[in-house]
């Protein structure tokens, strides 16, 4: 399999980490959604990353759909999403909040970093800040010890840990470590695992497109 995308993207990283956790070998094509947009559009009509190219040549886009395929590809007892209710809905709802945290972080940066100061919408920025803090508080209230949902790692933990790393890297002032200590611990505990380290956040890849991203 071939995974397209950079390791400063939390969407790309969560696919890579799940591939590693499932011990599914893959190669990676680091590609910039900004400086290599034409190539990105060639593999994904939406022009976004990640894209996972299967050995058949078929391409899957969007981390949610890619992970759905990967979870279905392993034995149910190895899946990071439980088959049984109510555990399944709890894990999926927690993943939704973590993924939303990532999306709101991206939105916040788009408004504050990419736009000229005169074009910024302060009401929109304040709304995004509230959503980020609210999502963090909701996840912290789940008291991960060490996991968010039950006694083993799920896709909710993978996505939350990557969301926290992304926040620490991209909007550090919004990740109040004293206010969200259990999320900080969850993130630290995950990021030292081999599956995460093999797809570690890459500042070098983040720096490949500073002009485009910083607007």
Cis amide prior to 146 (ω within 30 degrees): yes
Least separation, in Å, of the C-beta of 201 and ligand GSH?
Answer: 12
Q: From 170, 177, 175, select the one nearest 203 (Cα to Cα).
A: 170
| Residue 93 vs 145, nearer CB to ligand GSH | 93
Q: Which residue is nearest to ligand GSH (CB)?
A: 48
Displacement of CA 89 from its chain's centroid (Å): 19
What is the Cα–Cα distance from 160 to 153, expressed in whole angstroms? 11
One of 20, 32, 63, 159 touching ligand GSH (CB under 6 A): 63
Least separation, in Å, of the C-beta of 16 and ligand GSH?
Answer: 12
- Residues whose CB falls within 8 Å of the CB of residue 214, separated by 6 or more in sequence, listed in order: 113, 114
One of 3, 4, 7, 9 touching ligand GSH (CB under 6 A): 9
What is the Cα–Cα distance from 133 to 125, expressed in whole angstroms? 12
Q: Is 62 in the site for ligand GSH (CB under 6 A)?
A: yes
Count Cβ atoms below 10 Å from residue 17 Cβ, excluding itself.
25
SS3 205: helix
* Structure tokens that stand for 80 in this block: 């990071």
Q: Of 42-50, 69-77, 124-132, 196-204, which part binds ligand GSH (CB under 6 A)?
A: 42-50
| Residue 61 vs 183, nearer CB to ligand GSH | 61
Q: Of 45-53, 113-121, 135-143, 150-158, which part binds ligand GSH (CB under 6 A)?
A: 45-53
Residues 64-93: x where in contact with ligand GSH by CB under 6 A, - otherwise, as a string: x-----------------------------
Residues 29, 2: contact at Cβ < 8 Å? yes
Binding site for ligand GSH (CB under 6 A): 9, 11, 33, 47-50, 62-64
């Amino acid at each position: 399999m071939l995974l397209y995308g950079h390791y400063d993207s939390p969407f790309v990283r969560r696919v890579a980490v799940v591939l590693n956790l499932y011990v599914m070998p893959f190669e990676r094509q680091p590609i910039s959604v900004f400086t290599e947009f034409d190539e990105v559009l060639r593999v994904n009509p939406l022009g976004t990353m990640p894209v996972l190219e299967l050995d058949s040549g078929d391409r899957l886009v969007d981390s949610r759909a890619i992970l759905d395929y990967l979870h279905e590809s392993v034995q149910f007892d190895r899946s990071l999403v439980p088959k049984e209710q109510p555990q399944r809905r709890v894990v999926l709802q927690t993943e939704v909040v973590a993924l939303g945290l990532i999306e709101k972080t991206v939105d916040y940066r788009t408004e504050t970093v990419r736009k000229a100061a005169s074009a910024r919408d302060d009401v929109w920025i304040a709304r995004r800040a509230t959503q980020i803090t609210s999502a963090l508080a909701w996840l912290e209230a789940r008291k991960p010890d060490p996991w968010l949902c039950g006694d083993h790692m799920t896709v909710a933990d993978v996505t939350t840990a990557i969301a926290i790393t992304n926040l620490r890297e991209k909007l550090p002032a919004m990740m109040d470590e004293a206010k969200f200590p259990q999320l900080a611990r969850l993130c630290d505990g995950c990021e030292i695992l081999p599956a995460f380290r093999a797809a570690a956040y890459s500042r070098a890849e983040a720096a490949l497109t500073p002009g485009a991203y910083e607007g």
